[in-house]
Amino acid sequence: MRPRNAAATREAILNSALEAFTRAGYDAVGVREIAEAAGVTAMLVNRYFGSKEGLFAEVVEAAMAERTVLTDDPATLAADIAAALVRRTAPGAGQLDPFLLMLRSAPNPRAAEILRAGIERHVEKHLTDVLPVKTNTEGPALVLAVIAGFWVMRTLIGSTELNRADEAVLARKLEKVFAVLLAE
């Protein structure tokens, strides 16, 4: 068992849960598995987080708060998102845990609600806050839909065309799409 250190124990549980939920999804992971990987008991996990659902909600908060492809400069937002997306989905690039977490956990209706709230609170809100024009309320959600679709097609499906295409060309085309979606 882990030595007593509340912050370290909490962090170990969150890291274990992120890894487990990302690897297998909400439905396929139990509190005991998470606890064992963190070096604690299931009772301790429940004491810190209340339930598996509470733990999942905190994992989603942490995962969605991290910026993976979004930037802060409205003048270059479309280009920055496009370049980061192409780079982060390139063959051989590291996995994007928030996307895998979302994809593998969304089939559970309650997990999907938690994911939606986290995405809206962190990712959509960030895009909305960065946009100079506040009337385009659906634009951020459309951008996220394109990001998710591109990520699935390029990394999970392994689209031959997307993976052999020139990355600069992909980035330019995506930039145009994002510019339209983010415009007034």
**pLDDT (0 to 100) of residue 50:** 95
Q: What is the 3-state secondary structure (H, E, C) of the chain?
A: CCCCCHHHHHHHHHHHHHHHHHHHCCCCCCHHHHHHHHCCCHHHHHHHHCCHHHHHHHHHHHHHHCCCCCCCCCCCHHHHHHHHHHHHHCCCCCCCHHHHHHHHHCCCHHHHHHHHHHHHHHHHHHHHHHCCCCCCCCHHHHHHHHHHHHHHHHHHCCCHHHHHCCHHHHHHHHHHHHHHHHCC
Q: Is the distance from CB of 48 to CB of 93 less than 8 angstroms? A: no
Average pLDDT across the chain, whole number: 91
Instruction: Express each pLDDT in 93-149 by its tens digit.
Output: 877 678 889 999 999 999 999 999 999 999 898 888 888 777 668 888 999 999 999
Q: pLDDT at residue 73 above 90?
A: no
Least confident of 53-57, 58-62, 73-77: 73-77
Q: pLDDT at residue 1 above 70?
A: no
Name, in order, each residue with C-beta under 8 angstroms of 138's C-beta and a sequence gap of 6 or more.
none
Distance between CA atoms of residues 147 and 78, nearest Å: 11
**pLDDT (0 to 100) of residue 53:** 97
**pLDDT (0 to 100) of residue 3:** 56
Residue with tokens 């659902």: 53
Q: pLDDT at residue 35 above 60?
A: yes
